[in-house]
């Protein structure tokens, strides 16, 4: 059986497919970002899922696409954990940009991720090109959930947030400075903690002018730093994957139109399209690279 995993920092989607391409199991675990979590935590999150425990020894091929897998050390760490759990499986671990590419295109394009974190790459039709290493939520991750969560907290504490929004924000979250610092400096997954504040932006049907401004500024920064560095962005479509992209699609359309760039697909979750991609591989008997 085949197992496909699309893993972020917050959660991970898993799909088990039999040798005929039929979906056997669809399930979810907490996030498995190896740049954030220790091996013991990664393994415990796998063990906590009963459905995976039942089939783990029947899996002969695992394709894991995940946040935090863009450099060799965390990638190897996660591969080791997965091989210790799925003991019969050939394990392939790739960065989440590969999942995004497989989900949205088979032809040359710029492919972007705007979720808990953010990233971008150029797919030339055969391979991914990304000249910029992903350094995570402290240094990079423009226009991501943690980027906007951090912006909301800054505006709230610097008193730059409109008063009515600040009152609602305070009612929605525990904004005790001690609580926030405890999560950021002493708890696991501080990037996902920051990102959970970003959900506040999308609680209204109509984007408030304040939210519109910070979304547009953040996405413009992402386009400038992570998309326009590719010369190919001027002649190929630009696809977006992730929850932030999904909820900001009108702003993304507006910005790309202003810059004369071609918008491709905007997809909230890549897992459905990944299933189709891998079902085709199974049906055609093609071995995955």
| Domain-wise residue ranges, the chain | 2-100+270-284
Considering only 127-141, 233-247, 257-271, 274-288, which range has the smallest mean pLDDT? 274-288
How far is CA 239 from each of CA 91, 203, 263, rounded to the nearest angstrom?
27, 25, 6
**Furthest C-alpha separation in the chain:** 60
pLDDT surpasses 80 at 41: yes
pLDDT surpasses 80 at 94: yes
Residues 6+ apart with CB under 8 A from 181: none
Residue 89 CA to residue 83 CA, distance in Å, equals 7
Residue 22 CA to residue 185 CA, distance in Å, equals 44
pLDDT confidence tier of residue 289, bands split at 50, 70 and 90: very low
Residue 122, classified by CB atoms within 10 Å of its CB into exposed (0-12), middle (13-18) or buried (19+), is: buried
pLDDT confidence tier of residue 205, bands split at 50, 70 and 90: low
pTM of the entire predicted model: 0.85
pLDDT surpasses 80 at 12: yes
Residue 194 CA to residue 76 CA, distance in Å, equals 26
Q: Which of 88, 12, 69 minimizes the C-alpha distance to 46?
A: 12
Residue 264 CA to residue 268 CA, distance in Å, equals 13
Considering only 39-48, 99-108, 279-288, which range has the smallest mean pLDDT? 279-288
Rounded average pLDDT over 105-113: 95
pLDDT confidence tier of residue 131, bands split at 50, 70 and 90: confident
Note the pLDDT of residue 284: 75
Rounded average pLDDT over 119-128: 93
| CB-CB contact of 27 with 49 (8 Å) | yes
Q: b or e along 65-103 (b: 16 or more beta carbons within 10 Å of the residue's beta carbon)? A: bbbbbbeeebbebbbbbbeebbeebebebbbbbbbbbbb
CATH number of 2-100+270-284: 3.30.420.40
Note the pLDDT tens digit of each residue in 16-36.
998 888 999 999 999 998 988
Question: For 95, left (φ over 0), alpha (ψ -120 to 50), or beta?
Answer: beta
Note the pLDDT of residue 282: 79
């Amino acid at each position: 059986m085949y197992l496909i995993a699309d893993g972020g920092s917050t959660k991970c989607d898993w799909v088990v497919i039999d040798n005929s391409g039929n979906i056997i199991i669809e399930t979810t675990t907490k996030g498995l970002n190896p740049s954030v979590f220790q091996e013991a935590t990664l393994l415990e999150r796998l063990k906590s899922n009963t459905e995976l425990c039942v089939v783990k020894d029947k899996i002969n091929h695992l394709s894991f696409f995940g946040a935090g897998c863009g450099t060799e050390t965390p990638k190897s760490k996660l591969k080791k954990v997965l091989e210790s759990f799925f003991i019969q499986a050939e394990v392939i671990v790739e960065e989440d940009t590969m999942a995004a590419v497989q989900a949205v295109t088979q032809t040359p394009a710029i492919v972007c991720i705007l979720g808990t974190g953010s990233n971008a790459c150029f797919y030339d039709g055969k391979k991914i090109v990304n000249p910029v290493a992903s350094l995570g939520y402290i240094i990079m991750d423009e226009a991501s959930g943690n980027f906007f969560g951090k912006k909301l907290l800054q505006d709230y504490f610097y008193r730059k947030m409109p008063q009515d929004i600040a009152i609602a924000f305070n009612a929605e979250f525990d904004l005790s400075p001690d609580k926030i610092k405890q999560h950021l400096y002493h708890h696991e997954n501080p990037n996902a903690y920051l990102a959970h504040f970003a959900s506040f932006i999308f609680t209204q049907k109509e984007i408030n002018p304040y939210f519109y401004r910070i979304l547009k500024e953040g996405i413009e920064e992402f386009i400038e730093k992570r998309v326009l560095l590719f010369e190919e962005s001027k002649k190929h479509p630009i696809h977006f994957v992730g929850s932030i992209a999904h909820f900001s699609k009108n702003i993304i359309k507006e910005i790309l139109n202003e810059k004369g760039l071609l918008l491709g697909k905007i997809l909230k979750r890549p897992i459905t399209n990944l299933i189709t991609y891998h079902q085709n591989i199974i049906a055609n008997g093609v071995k995955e690279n």
